[in-house]
Amino acid sequence: MAIDSASISHRVDSRSIAETPPVNEDVRAAAFRRLDVLTKPQGALGRLEPLAAQICAIQGTLDIRISRPVGIVFAADHGVAGHGVSAYPREVTLQMVANFLGGGAAISVLAKLHGIDLWIVDAGVDGDCGTHPRLIDAKIRRGTRSFVDEPAMTPTECAEALRRGQDAVERAMPPDSNVLILGEMGIGNTASAALLMHGLTGANLVDCVGRGTGLDDRGLEHKRKVLRQALERRAAPPDPLDLLAEFGGYEIAMLTGAVLAGAARRSLILVDGFTVSVAAALAARLNPGVLEYCVFGHCSEELAHRALLAHLNARPLLDLGKRLGEGTGAALALPIVRAAVALFTQMATFEDAGVSDKGT
C-alpha cells in the first residue's frame, strides 16, 4: 500500500507549521570577535567558543542567557515490537511513563538536578497513562501498525502527530523559556529509527541497525531480518513525510514537529540520542534551517548514531558510552551549555582586565 505524500504535505501545510527564522549571522561574527579578545589565548576554550557563538546567533544578541529550560519526553508504542526486535516487552513503555511521572527515572533525576521543567507526552502508548499535571495527552492511537505488514501510520495520522508535537512545545514552554530538551521512550523505536535513517541517508540497512535496549548477537540479527522484510514490502520512499508515515512512530513524528516548533520560536534545542537525532534529521529535510538551532548533546552507543551525526555534520558535546534515551544525554549536556554562556558573558577582555595581549 503506497502512501500519498502529496496528501500528507497538504495536511501539514494546512496546519500552518511555522517556518524557521534564520539565525543572526552578524551577531555570530560579533561573538567570535568578542571571544578573540577575552583573557585567554585565541581558541583556547575549544568547542565552547563556537557553541557560545551559536547561542548568540540563535538569540540575536551578545547578552545571552539560559532561561527556564524545558524537557519533553515523547512516548509511544510500535507495532513492530510484536516481532521481537527489542530485549524488552512492549508493556515497558507504559510502565516507564509511570516511572517518569513518579520521579524515579534517570531523566526525572537529571531534570531535578539541573532545573529542567520536565513534561511527558503520551504520543501513542498502548495503554492508559491516566492523568498527571506533567502529562500531556496527545495520543493518536495505541501504537503504530507493524510496518512489516503495512504502513505504520496513515497520512492523516502522520500529519496530526506533527501538529501535536508542535502543540506540545507551545503548551510546555512558557514565553521566557529559551532551551528545549527533547527525549523519547518507546519499545521498538530504534527499529523504526533505523529504517528512517536508511531512507534519509541512503546508508546500508545493516549499518543503521543497532542493539537498542541491549540485544545479543542473535537478537540483533533477528532485528535486521525483520527490517529487511519491511523493506521487501516497500523500499524506503525518498519523500521525508512519506518515509515517516511508512516506517515511523507517533513519538518520532511528534519529535519532528517539536524540533520545527522549537526552531520557530528561536529556542536552543538540545538533541538527545539516536531516535531524537533521526527526528532532527527529518525536520531538517523539511526545513534545513532547523539544524542551526540544534545542539547534539551526546553520541550514544547505538551503532548508527555516530554515522548519522557525521551525515548531519554535527559534533556531539559528550560521548559517555550511554544508550538510555529519555533525553538523558541532552540533559547532561545542559551544564556545558550553561558554562559556555557564563564564560562568554562574564570573562573580562584584555582591555577590561588590563592584561597585555601579546597579539597586539
| DSSP character string of 302-357 | STTHHHHHHHTT---SB-------TTHHHHHHHHHHHHHHHHHHHSPBHHHHT---
What pLDDT does 6 receive?
41
The boundaries of the domain holding residue 117 are: 68-338
> Is residue 158 assigned to a domain?
yes
**79-115 pLDDT per residue, tens:** 999 999 999 999 999 999 999 999 999 999 999 999 9
Residue 305 maps to which CATH number? Answer: 3.40.50.10210
**Residue pointed to by grid coordinates 516481532:** 83
For residue 15, pLDDT beyond 70: no
pLDDT at residue 342 is higher than 50: yes
Chain-centre distance for alpha carbon 255: 6
- pLDDT band at residue 360 using 50, 70 and 90 as cut-offs: very low
326 is catalytic: yes
Among 62-66, 176-180, 351-355, name the one with the lowest average pLDDT: 351-355
Q: List C-alpha distances in Å: 96 to 1, 73, 130, 154, 213.
A: 33, 11, 13, 27, 13
User: Quick one: pLDDT at residue 359?
Assistant: 54
Q: What pLDDT is recorded for position 17?
A: 62
What is the Cα–Cα distance from 337 to 333, expressed in whole angstroms? Answer: 7
Output the pLDDT for position 356. Answer: 86
Instruction: Please give the full DSSP string across 91-125, using - where no structure is assigned.
Output: THHHHHHHHHHHT-SHHHHHHHHHT-EEEEEEEE-
Classify residue 286: in a domain, yes or no. Answer: yes
Catalytic residue among 19, 232, 326, 351: 326
Could you give the C-alpha distances from 159 to 97, 165, 224, 242, in angstroms and in order?
Answer: 24, 10, 28, 10
| Residues 324/190, Cβ–Cβ less than 8 Å | no
Residue with cell 584584555: 350
Q: How far apart are CA 116 and CA 30, in angstroms?
A: 30
Residue 159 has pLDDT above 50, yes or no: yes
Q: Is residue 261 part of a domain?
A: yes
Mean pLDDT for all residues in the chain: 94
Residue 7 pLDDT exceeds 90: no
Determine contact, residues 127/78, Cβ cutoff 8 Å: no
Nearest residue to 208 via CA among 197, 219, 222: 197
- Residue 222 in grid coordinates: 533477528
In this structure, is residue 1 part of a structural domain? no
**Which amino acid, one-letter code, is at 316?**
P
- Kindly give the interhelix angle for 155-172 and 240-247, rounded to the nearest 10 degrees: 100
**pLDDT of 247-304, one tens digit each?**
999 999 999 999 999 999 999 999 999 999 999 999 999 999 999 999 999 999 998 9
Instruction: Decide if 318 is inside a domain.
Output: yes
pTM (global) more than 0.85:
yes
**Tens digit of pLDDT for each residue in 204-258?**
999 999 999 899 999 999 999 999 999 999 999 999 999 999 999 999 999 999 9
Q: Is residue 117 pLDDT above 60, yes or no?
A: yes
Q: Closest by alpha carbon to 337, among 311, 320, 316?
A: 316
Number of neighbouring beta carbons within 10 Å of residue 253: 32
Looking at the structure of the chain, the number of domains it has is 1
pLDDT attached to residue 135: 98
In a domain, 47, yes or no: no
> What local confidence, expressed as pLDDT, does residue 141 receive?
97
Tell me what pLDDT residue 5 has.
38
pLDDT at 8: 42
Q: Find the radius of gyration of the CA atoms of the chain.
A: 20
d(CA 182, CA 266): 15
Residue 102 lies in a domain: yes
- Does residue 9 form part of some domain? no
Q: Which residues contact 275 (CB under 8 A, 6 or more apart)?
A: 184, 186, 189, 190, 192, 193, 251, 252, 255, 325
